[in-house]
Amino acid sequence: MKKLLLFTLTICFLIGKINAQTSSTIEGIIVDAKTNSPLEKVNIFNQTSSLGDFSNIDGTFQIEIKEYPSVIIFSYVGYENFLLRLDQKPTEPILINLQPSSFGLPEIEITAQPKIEKLTNKSFTVKDFILLENQILILTYANVFSGNKLILQNWQGELLDEFPLKKVKVSNLHQGCLGSIHLLGKNHGYEMSVIENKILLLAKYPKKQFHKLIEPCVESSEDFIYRQKHTGRDQILTYQVVSKKEKNILNTLRVIDELNLRRSKDDHTLQRQMGIPLTWGQVQAWNSLMYKPLYSPLVNMGEELCLFNHTAGYLEFVNFEGKNKRYTPITYHENKKWHKQILFDKKNNKVYTAFNTKTGKTIHRINLIKGTTQPVLFLDCTFVEKMEIEDGYLFYLESGRENADRNRILQKVKLDE
């Protein structure tokens, strides 16, 4: 018995010694390869352990390595990504030279205005819309005589059906992760359906039921649904992988903004120390002003899922069960002109994002292998609102192309690729 205990202790000691040898902290400095100037806030990501950090004001950095070999990715706006493979702990600090990028975020040279198709007219103003297969369901603003209306038309703008809502007060449309259609009001929701070009209102339910059951579900696959939840003053975003068959949580994906979490805790501590009396409403108003919800959408790419982790600066590809497959570093999200929206063309399996300009927006396609973006469309209009992409076409709401015209109209334009 004593020999067995001694053998167990010896094995534990050796394992601890091996871990101590493999787990270490490396140091280095990151500079511009041409000017030799130190680079601050470079994104440093350990692809092997999924740990990350940023460089300091003098370009220096430290990052923990839990195992060797490890692959470290250095990414920064305006510079080429740099991949460093470490097979063992370096004997001295590492010098990282980042090369200025040749692509960056160039403005599009406008040679011709794209052909824009107006899908709605001035007889009504569009409040919201969702895209169905070869159809568009439109919610109009209420007027004095008939209130809101639901309008069904095809992609060419031809009217298929019209459904007056009369006294039913509603605000927007929503398409659930399993394809259901919902019309939302202040206190109630309405489940809808479109059958043989006819709009049907199926059932009315309490609004809290929508927030609890329907809204959290953001994606689905053949065997799973994916539910999102914000916590920690909206600075922690969790995706639950839920089995459709067993109804249990199989896995979780999590995005955390550590910096804002620490700031929010400091806010709370400072308020308590100063003895500032704040109402619940004042606290909520302060949180909504200072701590915007994390925007890291999860998208079903057909054969895998892609998590757009804009907090850590990479795309994480996982299988349908939520197990990691690979990472791609990104920098487009750090550009101040970024519109903070991911547009997914499900039919063509392509992903786009948008950037603001002085006179409109540029639509860029995201290269999911390199993490770079390429401009594909320029919209020469300032008041662009909701945007959706389907089958190579951009559908968007626009108000005020001319100052005298404030109607919100639905437009369609083909992406130039």
3-state helix/strand/coil string of 108-130: CCCCCCCCEEECCCCCCCEEEEE
Residue 125 is encoded by which pair of tokens?
A: 């103003």
Contact predicate 173/182, CB 8 Å: yes
Model's pTM, two decimal places?
0.76
Nearest-5° angle of CA 355, CA 349, CA 294? 50
Q: Pick the closest to residue 231 from 293, 307, 322, 299 (CA basis).
A: 293
Say which amino acid occupies 11: I
Rounded-to-integer distance, Cα 323 and Cα 309, Å? 15
Beta pairing partners, 398: 384, 409
In eight-state DSSP terms, residue 297 is -
Which residue matches tokens 């039921």?
A: 209
Q: Pick the closest to residue 219 from 127, 359, 291, 318 (CA basis).
A: 318
**Whole-number pLDDT of residue 143:** 78
Q: What residues of the chain score a pLDDT lower than 70? A: 1-22, 50, 102-113, 144, 267-268, 270-272, 274-276, 278, 280, 282-288, 400-406, 417
**Whole-number pLDDT of residue 292:** 83
Contact predicate 150/199, CB 8 Å: yes
**Whole-number pLDDT of residue 18:** 43
Rounded-to-integer distance, Cα 141 and Cα 295, Å? 28
In eight-state DSSP terms, residue 99 is P
Residue 325 is encoded by which pair of tokens?
A: 């497959």
Looking at 213-338, list the stretches that DSSP marks H as alpha helix, in order from N- to C-terminal side: 258-274, 280-290
Complete edge-to-edge strand list for the sheet that includes strand 350-356: 338-345, 350-356, 361-366, 373-379
- The torsion angle over the Cα atoms of residues 286, 290, 291 and 292, rounded to 10 degrees, is 110
Q: Which residues contact 319 (CB under 8 A, 6 or more apart)?
A: 304, 305, 325
Torsion 305-306-307-312 (CA) sign: positive
> Residue 353, SS3?
strand
Torsion 384-159-165-210 (CA) sign: negative
**Whole-number pLDDT of residue 404:** 40
Complete edge-to-edge strand list for the sheet that includes strand 82-86: 51-54, 43-46, 70-75, 82-86
Rounded-to-integer distance, Cα 54 and Cα 75, Å? 10
The pLDDT tens digits for 182-215 are 999 989 999 999 999 999 999 999 999 999 999 9
Rounded-to-integer distance, Cα 280 and Cα 265, Å? 16
